[in-house]
Amino acid sequence: MTGPVEALIAQQVELLALVADRPEDQLSLPSRCPGWSAADVLLHLAQTNEMAVASVNGRLSEFVASVTASIAPGDDVDGLAGALVDAKRSTPGVARDRYLTSARAQATAFVSCDLSARVQWVAGEMAARTLATTRLSETWIHTLDVAAAFGIEVPPTDRLGHVARMVWRKRPYRQGRLEPGVSPSNLGALVGYEIGMARQMSTSEWIAFVSEGTRTMKLAATRRKAGDHKEDGRPHVAPVWFVVEDGRFVFITGAESVKGRNLRRTGRATLVVDDEDAPFSFVMAEGQVDLENDPHAMLPLATCIARRYMGPELADEYGRRNAAEGEVLVSMKPTNVVALAEISD
């Protein structure tokens, strides 16, 4: 299954294929939306697409104020949507053209934005990714509304997996707009999608995530009693500077530190990198480690790590400081990765 933006674009294309060559008399046929023609549905989608573009661009409040300035306040979101359509209703061809323009603008906005960024919407603040899924949901529902005007049945696709996951996470506004007889759980079954609470990152995504900014990793180890060969069970966790090179976590630690001794003894490492801000994401990785204690061999990567955390001006200084006797360069190739994004969204 593709991402929500790709799914949204595909849903827009499906709708456009239904209406592109329709004469205006067919666009004037009644849709499943009470009191709206197929053209009215297109106008409504155009207006909400334009609102989504404003949201992604950080100007939702100004946009809403401008388009509702001459509209009487409605009792709810649906009432306002109806008033906006009534105020801007024109010829069916104009509604279709406006939808086409707005669909292109919406696709461009989502493709160009950071999908983890927080944006404003009528239901409150959410990640741009969630907004894209919201737009996918509405476009899908209204595709069915328009298709009904032409006597066409539209089969479900795996694009609905994104909608299923969103609805499952207790979004009553969206759940109320599902098809009759479609629940959050059977929507997932309908499209063969396993619903979960968080999104699994791809390999390229989690590497980009852990490499962003100056996030540190939390490296886990197990303490041992002094002079004893048995572990005493006490956990040890410490923040560590690192980089990812060729898919491997690379970091430096003291050879005789708790971390260094544990890595040398077990040959394995377990670590976590997380985002402590909403909507919260994390990567947990574990795997085998290789150790290098030759300062000359350590220097290039030590400098690379220092550049990430101290900047280019101090990279050489801190690289030389850390590639020293008594230090060890650790390279871990992950054999198991759990990478979850947008846990609370």
Mean pLDDT lowest among 64-68, 222-226, 330-334? 222-226
Q: Dump pLDDT digits (tens) for 176-213.
A: 444 454 444 444 444 334 444 567 888 999 999 999 99
pLDDT at 160: 82
Residue 122, burial from CB neighbour count under 10 angstroms (0-12, 13-18, 19+): middle
pLDDT at 75 over 70: no
> How far is CA 192 from each of CA 3, 12, 158, 176, 243, rounded to the nearest angstrom?
16, 22, 7, 22, 38
d(CA 212, CA 230): 38
Token duo for residue 76? 């709810």
| Spatial CB neighbours of 70, under 8 Å, sequence gap ≥ 6 | 87
Q: Which residue intervals of the chain bear CATH 2.30.110.10?
A: 203-341
Give the residue-averaged pLDDT of 264-269.
91
Q: Dump pLDDT digits (tens) for 279-332.
A: 788 999 999 999 999 999 999 999 999 999 999 999 999 999 999 999 999 999
Q: Which residue intervals of the chain bear CATH 1.20.120.450?
A: 4-196
Q: Taking the CA atoms of 109, 172, 76 and 83 in sequence, report the sign of the dihedral they define.
A: positive
d(CA 297, CA 263): 19
pLDDT at 216 over 50: yes
State which CATH number among 1.20.120.450, 3.20.20.70, 3.40.50.300, 1.20.140.10 fits the domain covering 4-196. 1.20.120.450
Q: What is the pTM of this model?
A: 0.58
Token duo for residue 193? 């999608």
Question: Is 2.30.110.10 the CATH number for 203-341?
Answer: yes
**For the chain, what percent of residues have pLDDT higher than 90?**
62
What's the mean per-residue pLDDT of the chain? 86
pLDDT at 122: 80
pLDDT at 127: 86
Kindly state the DSSP code that residue 30 receives in the 8-state scheme. B
